[in-house]
Amino acid sequence: MAHRQVVGVENAGGRAYGKATGLYNKHRKYSEQWNPWHPFQSAHDFQQAQSFSQQTKTWIDQHLRSGQDYFKIKSFQSADALRKLLSELNFGLGNDSWIDDHSPIFGTLYYWDIFKCIQFLLAYLPFQAHLDVEPVRLADSESSRIYSEMNTGVWWWDKLDQLPAGATIVPVICASDKTHLINFSGDQHAWPLYLTIGNIRNDIRLTPTTRTWILVGLIPCPMKGAKTTHDAWHSAIGTVLSPLWNLDITGPALKWNCADGFQRQCDPLSAAWVGDYTEQVMIAQVSYGSCQMCEIPKGAPMGHSTCQALDNSRDQHVYSELLDESNINVVHTNHVHPIRNQFWQFPLCNVYRLWQPDEFHQLLLGLVKDLLHWLFKYLKARNVKDQFDNRFTSVPRYPGLQHFSKPFDSMKSSSWRGKEIRGMIRTLSVNCAPILDCSQDDGKTAVETASDEMVLGAVRALCEFSLLVSQHNHSGLSLTALDDALERFYEKKGAFREQKMSKSAKAKVDEQLATESHQL
């Protein structure tokens, strides 16, 4: 049974410095005139306003003038009055608070003051029971560390050690995604920038209806084929996030109200950036096709050849020193653009660690989907693909298992979504095991037996890894199991070289493996 344990109370941060004031304190329970339906006068007015949310202005005016509700609504008597009341719910984040910035570099940028957005999320009353302001360590009955919410991780503790005692960290999480809108009218795109904070717990932050993500900016989209896309994007992002850039963590922190009714000394820090690979490459300013976290050679066939602890992680301090010494060639060798990344200047921010794992796109639609393609090619080469299809379509209907009526590779690629791939992972090892079983003498050659064993080991390892990753909480035991599964996958994945690579790439891998074996 897991229990909650706060370690180092004096240095754990999140210290309160008094009761909240201003707009937040206006409607607290301990206020004599507290109104839970603010800005409406009664529950009836609030419910009516909710029912009008999908109606037009004309319909609302006609409804109110006709007296169909027997004139019980007291808070507003017109659609304009209702919209004015609704704007008060934004705590200063109404339509009038948008800032427009015109620049010859990025065009017209519309954005909000991100500090006002962060203050709104911190002081929003519905988040009161779902807000974490201090780091904690969770442990089970065997004193094994458990990781669940963001404040249970190592990052929060490491950053807190570099801030004054009693400081409250506000992890800022940004998300961006260039979105194609329409092919007509000039091939229109939108580039929204969203923001939330890591103090809000996962189950609330990941629920769309809770509105924990705020649209803080609309990044201008350069014309198709423009060569200044990166410069324009970084210039616009720098404008929106300039308050974070200019934050002085050595001086007095920001006194902000929190949803529990107290003021705290807050230090907002850039913690994570949610985006696809294209966005991450642009943020890190590395060459397309290279890793934004480590210096693995670009275009290495099948990635790392062995599962080893990475000792070549990207270090922004090293790159900065190389640029100071004008060692442009060394920077190019590491596939980094020879310019100073603005995120290097953000307080306590490592731009190469802003990237966060994406189970859906990178694991399920990335590595697992690639494994399925390799596996099907291998089974066809071994003339056992029909056996696999028969077993795959014969899985009985049972709660927790997904039944497929036709072979997986016969479905359209667009239907390969997370639900289908997760359903296949649950039974993939079981379907492959009897076909690739090496324990019985069924006329296989020694080469085929060894190859089948490696393929089955790689399939089982990646299936175990995928199922373990989907857990909401992790412990030392589950992290060890993840490392073990990943190491086994790296050891066995070489069996798919014939299906994955060309002859030249295969020769390259053989040479790389021979070199590493010689070094060991």
Tens of pLDDT, residues 137-165 = 888 888 888 999 999 999 999 999 999 88
Residue 457 confidence (pLDDT)? 93
Is the pLDDT confidence value at 8 over 50?
no
Mean pLDDT of 422-449: 83
Same domain? For 294 and 180 the reply is yes
Any domain includes 505 = yes
Any domain includes 348 = yes
**Region of poorest pLDDT, from 78-82, 201-205, 232-236, 293-297:** 293-297
Q: How far is the C-alpha of 119 from the C-alpha of 259, rounded, in Å?
A: 10
Any domain includes 407 = yes
Same domain? For 372 and 306 the reply is no
Domain final residue, candidates 353, 373, 394: 353
Q: How far is the C-alpha of 43 from the C-alpha of 72, rounded, in Å?
A: 11
Mean pLDDT of 450-461: 91
Percent of the chain with pLDDT over 90: 33
Any domain includes 436 = yes
Same domain? For 231 and 284 the reply is yes
Mean pLDDT (the chain) is 83
Same domain? For 302 and 401 the reply is no
Same domain? For 488 and 426 the reply is yes
**pLDDT digits over 16-74, tens only?**
888 887 655 555 554 566 677 778 888 888 888 888 888 899 999 998 888 877 778 88
Measured in degrees and rounded to the nearest 5, phi and psi for residue 106 equal: -115, 0
Mean pLDDT of 314-325: 91
Range of the domain at 113: 95-131+168-353
Residue 223 confidence (pLDDT)? 60
Residue 171 confidence (pLDDT)? 97
Domain final residue, candidates 56, 88, 120: 88
Any domain includes 153 = no
Any domain includes 154 = no
**Residues whose CB is less than 8 angstroms from the CB of residue 510 and which lie 6 or more positions away in sequence, other chains included:** none
Same domain? For 110 and 84 the reply is no
Residue 303 confidence (pLDDT)? 59
Same domain? For 117 and 189 the reply is yes
Number of domains in the chain: 3
Q: Report the 10 Å Cβ neighbour count for 409.
A: 18
Same domain? For 310 and 334 the reply is yes
Q: How far is the C-alpha of 263 from the C-alpha of 251, rounded, in Å?
A: 17
Mean pLDDT of 324-341: 89
**pLDDT digits over 255-297, tens only?**
999 988 889 999 999 999 998 888 899 999 999 888 888 888 7
Q: Which pLDDT band holds residue 210 (cuts at 50, 70, 90)?
A: confident
Mean pLDDT of 196-213: 92
Same domain? For 306 and 180 the reply is yes
Is the pLDDT confidence value at 370 over 80?
yes
Any domain includes 139 = no
Domain final residue, candidates 297, 321, 353: 353
Same domain? For 399 and 423 the reply is yes
Residue 230 confidence (pLDDT)? 81
DSSP 39-82: TSSSHHHHHHHHHTTTS-HHHHHHHHHHTTTTT---S-SSHHHH
Same domain? For 205 and 290 the reply is yes
Mean pLDDT of 306-315: 67
Query: What number of CA atoms fall less than 13 Å from residue 87's CA on the CB side?
Result: 10
Measured in degrees and rounded to the nearest 5, phi and psi for residue 19 equal: -80, 150
Residue 11 confidence (pLDDT)? 43
Residue 403 confidence (pLDDT)? 87
